[in-house]
Amino acid sequence: MDILYRNGKWYASIVLEIDQDLLKNSRETDTGIIAIDLGCNDAIAWTNGVENGLVPAPRFLRKVDAENKRLSKAKHRKRSPNFKKKIKASRRWKKAQKQVSRLNRKVANQRQNWVHHETTRIISGNSTVVTEKLEVKNMSAKAYIGKYKKQKSGLNKSILDVGMGMIKDVLKAKLDDVGGKYFEVPTRKVKPSQTCPKCGHQEKKTLDQRVHLCLNCGYTQQRDIAAAEVMLAWYSNNLQELGTSFSDVDSCISTSHTRKTAGSMKQIGRAKRQKSQVIPGDVETPGSNEVSQG
Ligand SMILES: [Zn+2]
């Protein structure tokens, strides 16, 4: 056991050796298939084909925005360290710095707790999770294009506040524990946000259009739930004609199929290449607080 002192708090780190089979049995799951759409307005829109629902974005960062600004301002008024000029930070600066990092840690803890809570709920009834390919890192890259800079940083804040990347990573890990399957729909081929889950008709939606209303068949559904329904339908091969069929997609990550060779160099190389791929056009309007689904 290690005892750590970090950012003014004490931590005990306990390492346990657990039998892999035991771990797999410790997490309960069911045989359901669920499709989830990750967004900024509603963090998670989900459907299992029978039921659907929305999980509102927790906005932990937004909630402490005022306090964050107040603490940063207070810190800037104090004497900061400058190593070149050999100026040491004042005691008050150090104290203010502690308060800033305490707040950051609080937000990070809240987010992590929320992500674990929601992902456990998803996994508890479903061993297959279908979602769309989303280049979070690319989207949250800094924008240096003049007037879009600030607007895009607002979008980044939303994406990072929801913790989309974290949700996916935790989902993958938990699915791996139960021998489940994680599948990503190729967004640009399938276009979940522009496609009718009932008839396959495609029509571009603007970002503020929160409802899917099909001009072809009249199907009406909340936008993000409709997108999740498209993913589920595509996964179940019902909307195959929209893109490549399920079997010839190489961009999917199926934990249950790759687990045996997950550590091989070939696969790590492939994962790295996938990571570095840049998909332009994932963000439609930098000025809006909404992520386009293609
Ligand atoms: Zn339709």
Angle at 113 between CA 59 and CA 53, to 5 degrees: 60
Q: How far is the CA of 177 from the centre of ligand 1 (A)?
A: 38
Q: How far is the CA of 171 from the centre of ligand 1 (A)?
A: 31
- Output the pLDDT for position 66: 92
Q: Which portions of the chain are predicted below pLDDT 70?
A: 7, 20, 22-28, 135-162, 238-294
- Output the pLDDT for position 149: 52
Q: How far is the CA of 172 from the centre of ligand 1 (A)?
A: 32
Beta strands in 99-229 (DSSP E): 126-132, 181-185, 211-213, 220-222
Q: How far is the CA of 254 from the centre of ligand 1 (A)?
A: 30
Q: How far is the CA of 226 from the centre of ligand 1 (A)?
A: 10
The DSSP bridge partners found for residue 212 are 221
Q: How far is the CA of 47 from the centre of ligand 1 (A)?
A: 17
- Output the pLDDT for position 179: 86
Predicted TM-score (pTM) of the model is 0.69
Q: How far is the CA of 185 from the centre of ligand 1 (A)?
A: 20
Q: How far is the CA of 204 from the centre of ligand 1 (A)?
A: 13
Angle at 103 between CA 89 and CA 135, to 5 degrees: 110
For the chain, the structural domain boundaries read: 2-58+96-276
How does pLDDT run across 88-105, given as a tens digit for each residue?
999 999 999 999 999 988
Beta strands in 125-172 (DSSP E): 126-132
- Output the pLDDT for position 261: 34
CA dihedral 155, 157, 162, 168 (to 10 degrees): 80
DSSP state at residue 90: P
Q: How far is the CA of 212 from the centre of ligand 1 (A)?
A: 9
| Both tokens assigned to 181 | 């399957």
- Output the pLDDT for position 231: 95
Q: How far is the CA of 218 from the centre of ligand 1 (A)?
A: 6
By C-alpha distance, which of 253, 257, 268, 261 is closest to 179?
A: 257
- Output the pLDDT for position 44: 95
**Beta strands 2-6 and 9-13, pairing class:** antiparallel
Q: How far is the CA of 203 from the centre of ligand 1 (A)?
A: 10
Q: How far is the CA of 248 from the centre of ligand 1 (A)?
A: 26
Q: How far is the CA of 192 from the centre of ligand 1 (A)?
A: 13
Q: How far is the CA of 195 from the centre of ligand 1 (A)?
A: 8
How does pLDDT run across 177-191, given as a tens digit for each residue?
888 999 999 888 899
